[in-house]
Structure 1
Amino acid sequence: MLRGLRDVPRTVRLLAVGQFFNMVVAFTFVYFFVYLTDERGLSVAQAGLISGIGGAGQVAGNFTGGWFGDRYGHRRVLLLGSLISGVGVLALPFLPVALLYVVPVLSQYAGGCVRAANGALVAVMVPDGARRQGFAVMRFAANAGFTVGPPLGALLIARFSYGVLFVVDGVGTLVFAAYAARVLPARAAGRTTEGGAPDGPGVLACLRQRPAVVLLLAVILVTDLVYRQQYSTLPADLDRHGLGTGVYGWLLAINGGLILLLELPVTVALRGRTPLRIIGGGVLLVGAGYGVLALGTGLGTAVAMMLLLTAGEVLYKTPATAYVADSAPAHAQGRFQSLYAGVSVSGVVLSAPLGGALYTVAPGALWPVCAVLAGAAGVLLLGAGRASRPGAPGAGAAVRRSAHETPTPTG
C-alpha cells in the first residue's frame, strides 16, 4: 500500500493533514439545530428553515466553487472561502435572529466552495494514474477528523457552552486557512491552481464529448439521495421498530470505523481496475443494503445493511471523484469537480424531504424504492464499464488524445 501512495505529491499529503484538522473542529453543524432550539429558543419549524437554507447554500457552493477556481485560482478560492466560513461561524453566537437566516447561508456557501477547491487542487496536483490514491488520502483525513470532531464538540458543550464551540470551530477554520496558505505554493500547479481566465470549450460542450461522465453524475445524484437516508429516515425507522438511538449510534460507528480501516488500502489495491465497474459495483452494494432492510427492520438486518452500505461507499466514492478528474480537460478541471461535488452532496437537501414524504405515506415502500433506484443506477454504470475498451489507460488519457480538443498548458 505504501508504494501505491508514493505517487501522491507531498503537497497533497500536507493538505490532507490540514483537512484532518479542519474536520476535527468542524463540529458546529452537527449541533446547530439543537443550538437553535435549545440555546436560542427557536421553534422546530424556524430551526428547520434556517438549517435547510444553510444546507442549500452548501450545495450551491459545491456547484459553483470550481467555476471561481478555474477563473481566479483554486488556492485563492480555498483561502477566501475558509476565511469567510471561519468568520461566519465566529459571529453566530452574537447574531440577532434575523441574521441567522443570512449569515449561516453565506458561511456554508463558502464552505461548499472550499470543498470544490479541495477536489480541484488534488485533481491538478496529482499525476494521471494516482488520482484515486490522492482522493483516498484526502477522504481518509476528512473521515478521521470527523470521527474525532463530534465527540469533542459534545465535550466542549458539556464543559463550557455552545459559544465556546463556535469560537473553537471558527478559529480552527481560520488556522486551517493560514496553514493552507503556507503549504500550497502559489504556482504549485500552474495557472490551473492560481487562476487566469479559462479558455477552451465550455463545460456543456465538454460534457457532450463525455457521455460517460454525464451518466456518472446522474448515477451519483440518485445514489446520494438513497445513501443519505441513513441520516434521516433510517433512525426514524429503527425507532419505530424498537431500536433506539444507541443502536443507531453503533451503526454509524461501524460505518466510520470500517471506512477508516478499508478505504485507503482497497483504493490502492484496485487502482488498476476499470473505474466504472468499481463504481457501479459499489452503487449496487448500496442498493443491496437497503434491499436487506426491505426484508424487515431488525438488529440483524440493520447491521447487514450498514456493512453493505459501507462496502458500497468504499468502492464508489473515491473512484468516482477520480474518474471525473481524469475525464476533465485542464481548463475546466474546477468546474468538473464542482459538478461532482454538487451532485455528491445533493442528498443533504433532497434526501430528508423526499424520503420523509414517502415514509409518511407508505413506510413499507421506502427501502424497496431505495434498493431499486440504487440497483438500477449500478446496473447502468456496470453496462457503461463493460462497453468501455478493456485495458484503456483511463478516461483522462483518452480525452486528452481526442482530436476535438487541445489541452490548456499548465506551465
Structure 2
Amino acid sequence: MKKLYNNYINTFRGLSIEVWWLSLITLINRAGTMVIPFLSIYLSESLDFEKSDIGWIMTFFGLGSVVGTWIGGKLTDKIGYYKVMLYSLFGTGILFVLLQYASTFEEFCLGIFLVMLVADTFRPAMFVALSAYSKPENKTRSVTLIRLAINLGFSAGPAIGGLIITFFGYKGLFWIDGITCTLAAILLLQVLHPKKAKILDEVKVENPVSVYKDKAFWIFFVAMFIFGFVFLQYFSTMPLYYKEARMLTVLEVGLLMGFNGGFIAVFEMPLIKWLETTKNSKTKLVAIGLFLVAVSFLVLNLTTWAGILILGMFLMTIGEMIAFPFSNAFALDRAKKGNQGEYMALYAIAFSLSHIFSHNAGMQMVDKFGYEFTWNVITVLALIGVLVLLWLMAVLKKEKGTTIL
C-alpha cells in the first residue's frame, strides 16, 4: 500500500510551484461553477423555458465563448497572459452575480453571452501561462494537474450544488459562482504577479507561422470541434435525460456527475504518467479517448438497467481523461511554431464553437426525435471524429517522416 501511495505521489514530482498555484486558482474558480451543470434544468424548471428556447440560450453561451476566446488570444499576445487572467476572473465574478436577475428569454441570451465572453478570455491566457510555467518535458503532466484541479472542483460543485438547490433553490448558486471567481482573482494577484512568478519555457518565435496556414492544426481543429460537440451533451441534454427518461432526482444527477470529477481527480495523473511510457502518439491517444466517449452514448440505448448510467459515465470519464490532456499537449507543442496566444485561442475556439451548435442541436433532436435517436446520432458523429484523427496522424507522418506528435 505504501509503495502504491509513493508511486502516486511521484507522478506529481518535478512540477513548478507556479503550476501548482495556477492549479489552485483554477480549483477555487471551478468549484464555484456549479450553475453550469444545472443550467438546462434551471432554465426548464425555474424559468419555464421550452427545450427549443434552452437550445438557443446555450447557443448564445457558445457564441460568447467563441468571441471571448478569440479576444483572449489576441489580448494574450498583446498585453500578456497575467493581465488577461486577472481581468477575466474579476469581470466574470461580477457578471455571474448579475445573471440571476435575468428572467426573460432575451435577457438570459444577452446575460449568458456576456458572462461567457468575459469568462473565456481566461482560457487561451491560462494555456499560455501553463506553458510558460512548465518545463518542456512536464507539459502533459502540467495540463493534467490543471485538469485535476478542474475536476476536484467539478466533483464537489455538482454535489454541493444539488444540496443547495434542494434546500435553498437556484439563486444561491449564482452568488457562489461570483464570489469564487473573485477569490480566484485575488489569489492570482497575490501569488502569480509577474515579479513573483518564474518563467521556465518562454517561447519567442522570430518568424511565426500563422495558425491559419497550418493544415495539420486545422484538421486537429475539426476533430476537437467534433469531440467538443459530443462531450458537451453531458452538460445539457444528458442532465435532462437523467431526470426525464431515467427519473433521477436533482441530487442524484449531481452525485452522478460528481462521480466523473472525483474519479478523474484520483486516477487521471497516474493514467497519464503510464500512457506517456507507452510511446503512443498524442493524436492516437486522443482518438482512443474519443472512441470511448462514443461508446458511452451507445450503451445507454442497450438496456433500461439503471446501472448502465454509471457504466456510461465511467466510459465517458476514461475517454475524457485520455483525450483532453493529450490534445492540450499537442496544441501546446504545435503552438511553438507561431504566436502561442493565437494557437491556443484556436484550440479553445474549437470547443467554444461546439457550445454554439452542440447544446442547441442536442436539444432540438431530443425535442423532435427523442433521446434514443439523439444518442445514436452522437455516437456516429464521435466515430467520424475518430476517423478525422486518423487522417491527422497520416498528415503528421507525411510532414515529419516517421515522427508523429
Measured against aligned partners, the alpha-carbon deviations of 1:300-328 in whole angstroms (never above 9, x if no partner) come to 54333222222111111111011100111
**Corresponding residue number in structure 1 for 2:339:** 332
Determine whether 1:109 maps to 2:117.
yes
- Partners of 2:296 and 2:161 lie apart in 1 by 30
Q: Is the 8 A contact 1:123 1:322 kept in 2?
A: no
Match of 2:221 in 1: 217
2:128 to 120, 128, 150: 120
1:113-262 superposed matches below 5 A: 113-156=121-164, 164-186=172-194, 188=197, 200-205=208-213, 207-208=214-215, 211=216, 213-237=217-241, 242-245=246-249, 248-249=253-254, 251-262=256-267
Once the two structures are overlaid, the 10-residue window that deviates more, 13-22 or 239-248, is 239-248
Taking the aligned partners of 2:173 and 2:241, their CA distance within structure 1 comes to: 31
Match of 1:304 in 2: 311
Q: What is the CA-CA distance between 1:332 and the residue it aligns to?
A: 1.4
Residues 104 and 192 of structure 1, relative CA distance in 2, 3 Å threshold: farther
Tell me the percent identity: 23
Tell me the amino acid that sits aligned with residue 267 of structure 1.
I
Q: Which residue number corresponds to residue 403 of structure 1? A: none
**Residue in 2 that maps onto 1:400:** none
Q: Distance in 2 between matches of 1:8 and 1:267?
A: 14
Q: Which amino acid aligns with 1:244?
A: L
Q: Which has the higher contact order (CA 8 A, sep 6+)?
A: 2
Given the alignment of the two structures, is residue 349 of structure 1 paired with residue 356 of structure 2, yes or no?
yes
Shift of 1:141: 0.4
Distance 1:191 1:373, change over 3 A: same
Q: Cα RMSD over matched residues?
A: 3.6
- What's the CA shift for 1:114? 1.1
C-alpha distance in structure 2 between counterparts of 1:142 and 1:344, whole Å: 16
Give the match for residue 290 of structure 1: 297
Mind listing any 5+ residue stretches in structure 2 that lack a counterpart? 1-7
Is residue 198–residue 332 contact of structure 1 (8 Å, CA) maintained in 2? no
Q: Which residue of 1 aligns with 2:3?
A: none
Aligned residue in 2 for 1:280: 287
Say whether 1:317 aligns with 2:317: no
Q: CA deviation at 1:25?
A: 2.2
Amino acid at match of 1:125: Y
Whether the aligned pair in 2 keeps the contact of 1:70 and 1:198 (CA below 8 Å) is no
Amino acid at match of 1:358: M
Mean Cα deviation higher: 141-150 or 74-83: 141-150
Identify the match of residue 265 of structure 1 among 270, 275, 278.
270
The answer to whether the 8 A contact 1:200-1:331 is kept is yes
TM-score by length of 1: 0.80
Distance (whole Å) between structure 1 residues aligned to residue 201 and residue 207 of structure 2 = 11
Specify which of 80, 85, 104 is matched with residue 78 of structure 1. Answer: 85
SS at match of 2:358: helix
Residue 27 of structure 1 aligns to a residue in which SS?
A: coil
Shift of the alpha carbon at 1:78?
0.4
Question: Does residue 48 of structure 2 align to residue 17 of structure 1?
Answer: no
d(CA) in 2 for partners of 1:338, 1:288: 29
Give the structure 2 partner of residue 408 of structure 1.
Answer: none
* 1:195-254 CA-partner distances (Å, limit 9, x unpaired): 99997343213x23xx1x222221111122122223334455556655534765554244
Is the 1:73–1:191 Cα contact (8 Å) retained in structure 2?
no
Change (3 A) 1:248 1:167: closer
| Aligned residues of 2:208 and 2:337 also touching (Cα < 8 A) | no
C-alpha separation in 1, matches of 2:96 and 2:157: 16
Say whether the 8 Å CA contact 1:120–1:337 is kept in structure 2: yes
Contact kept? 2:133, 2:199, Cα under 8 Å = no
Secondary structure of the equivalent of 2:122?
helix
Distance 1:276 1:172, change over 3 A: same
How many residue pairs get aligned? The number is: 388
Structure 1 residues 179 and 346, CA, compared in 2 at 3 Å: closer, same or farther? same
- Partner Cα separation in structure 1 for residue 139 and residue 272 of structure 2: 10
Deviations 1:136-179, CA, capped at 9 Å, x for gaps = 00010011012222343455566667555444432321221121
In structure 1, runs of 5+ residues without a counterpart are: 396-411
Is the 2:70–2:346 Cα contact (8 Å) retained in structure 1?
A: yes
Kindly indicate whether the alpha-carbon contact (under 8 Å) linking 2:159 and 2:258 is maintained by their aligned counterparts in 1: no
- Give the Cα separation in 1 of the matches to 2:141 and 2:155: 21
Partner Cα distance (1:338, 1:250) in 2: 32
Question: Deviation at 1:335?
Answer: 1.7
